[in-house]
Structure 1
């Protein structure tokens, strides 16, 4: 049986003429940087048959691990190199900024301060319109009339939670500290489903979640799943050995000083 041999990519050796142009590459860097910011030559890498990149260590303060990169090329049958580009690039050990994450994705619960605003996008999939604006939703007068009628009919909110938004909330709550996998729930004697302090939610979420109404519990005022639990369950009882030891009577009652003086 024949087997195809694996294909091994061989690295092309740098063009000899371009590889020797170290002084030219350094002079190009020195046109952009101070001499004290350019260190030793780190080598030359073949980018193509007649394209070579020279790298120099960057000694500028705050740029540890960065390299000056100069790309040279030449035409066939020509010995004179041409400068393509000069850039400062981070090396493998360079300190670089983390990937940019939009503010909307970085914000976490508790980050908003009084007065901060976090607008919701018009096409946010977590929300759906409560009512329609008719055939011309962009007409401001038509929208104003529809909203006025909606107010008179007590339709309330302009948008409401979509099935996708509801599912996202359920997943977040169930996998969070109010779900069954938290350390508090795993050590609880009973679940929230049998606790008298559980206030049920309305709508589809009422099938799995409620709000804790026990002022002595860690989860007071928070959404908890039915299979969550804690030590403040309404029906929890202490075993005899767990009950506090009764305090014995005083040997001498300090409130009856008169009797003490008569002894």
Structure 2
């Protein structure tokens, strides 16, 4: 690493390489300190001196020693801080991802709680959007009751919530791009085991009710499919071969022992 110092930097702070190294060695020991890498001018009176780090496991890291100098011929250079910093090629921990953003479907165990934020864009007050699709008059009644009495669900899915769910389901294992669907003889929209949803997603999704299918009890898209389709039939060459006619055994035990 090589740095270029600003001409306006304090010359005493720039020249304090030995003082910076001495402070570093005093703090971490000489065995972890490598070559001098150059200065970084933080301010007119503040300079950071960089030294290579030779500590095992810290490839690409460097020591950063910041010094300051108060103007005056007899004023000493003071050491502000000594820290270990990662360089461009350093191995560092991945960026922190909050727990709420890390959790995935299937991660919850019995007893775990996953609160939903009050301002979650996937949900809206029921009185503002209505509940499950009803006719216009019934929707108005639902909104009025929920608003006046607080009955029913407090919140329901917003248009954004419906869109996110549809995109997630369609791209998942119950969508048309799943390997199972790609090899299926037909699609779910024509399967007798499909239980159609009601509401906003009814035109595109249903629930599989075939206990022999991989997707039993799961949401599937209308253009999903699998080999357990209700109308699938085996080709004649795949049908079980008929058993041969039984043969009546006329031999007796006495006849067998006589051989």
TM-score between both structures, scaled by the size of structure 2: 0.75
Cα separation, partners in 2 of 1:203 and 1:238, compared to 1, 3 Å: same
SS in structure 1 at match of 2:165: helix
Displacement, 1:110? 0.9
Displacement, 1:216? 0.8
Q: 2:18 aligns with which of 19, 23, 41?
A: 23
Kindly provide the CA deviation profile for residues 62-88 of structure 1, in whole angstroms up to 9, marking residues without a partner as x.
Answer: 544322111345578869645454321
1:228 is aligned to 2:219? no
The 8 Å contact of residues 25 and 33 in structure 2, kept in 1 or not, is answered as no
Displacement, 1:128? 1.5
- The equivalent of 1:208 in structure 2 is 204
The root-mean-square deviation of aligned C-alpha atoms, in Å, is 3.2
Question: What pairs with 1:71-90 in structure 2 (closer than 5 Å)?
Answer: 71-72=66-67, 74=69, 81-90=77-86
Displacement, 1:14? 6.5
TM-score between both structures, scaled by the size of structure 1: 0.74
SS in structure 2 at match of 1:205: coil
The 8 Å contact of residues 38 and 68 in structure 1, kept in 2 or not, is answered as no
Q: Which runs of 5+ in 2 are unaligned?
A: 129-145
Q: 1:245 aligns with which of 237, 241, 244?
A: 241
Kindly provide the CA deviation profile for residues 115-157 of structure 1, in whole angstroms up to 9, marking residues without a partner as x.
Answer: 111111111111122248xxxxxxxxxxxxx89944xxxx422
Count residues with an aligned counterpart. 232
Kindly provide the CA deviation profile for residues 52-71 of structure 1, in whole angstroms up to 9, marking residues without a partner as x.
Answer: 43222334455443221113
Kindly provide the CA deviation profile for residues 140-197 of structure 1, in whole angstroms up to 9, marking residues without a partner as x.
Answer: xxxxxx89944xxxx4222211111111101110111111111111111111010000
SS in structure 1 at match of 2:223: coil
Cα separation, partners in 2 of 1:106 and 1:128, compared to 1, 3 Å: same
Q: 1:199 aligns with which of 195, 201, 216?
A: 195
Q: 1:34 aligns with which of 4, 28, 43?
A: 28
The 8 Å contact of residues 12 and 48 in structure 1, kept in 2 or not, is answered as no
Q: Which runs of 5+ in 1 are unaligned?
A: 1-10, 133-145
Displacement, 1:28? 2.0
1:169 is aligned to 2:165? yes
- The equivalent of 1:6 in structure 2 is none
The 8 Å contact of residues 192 and 226 in structure 1, kept in 2 or not, is answered as yes
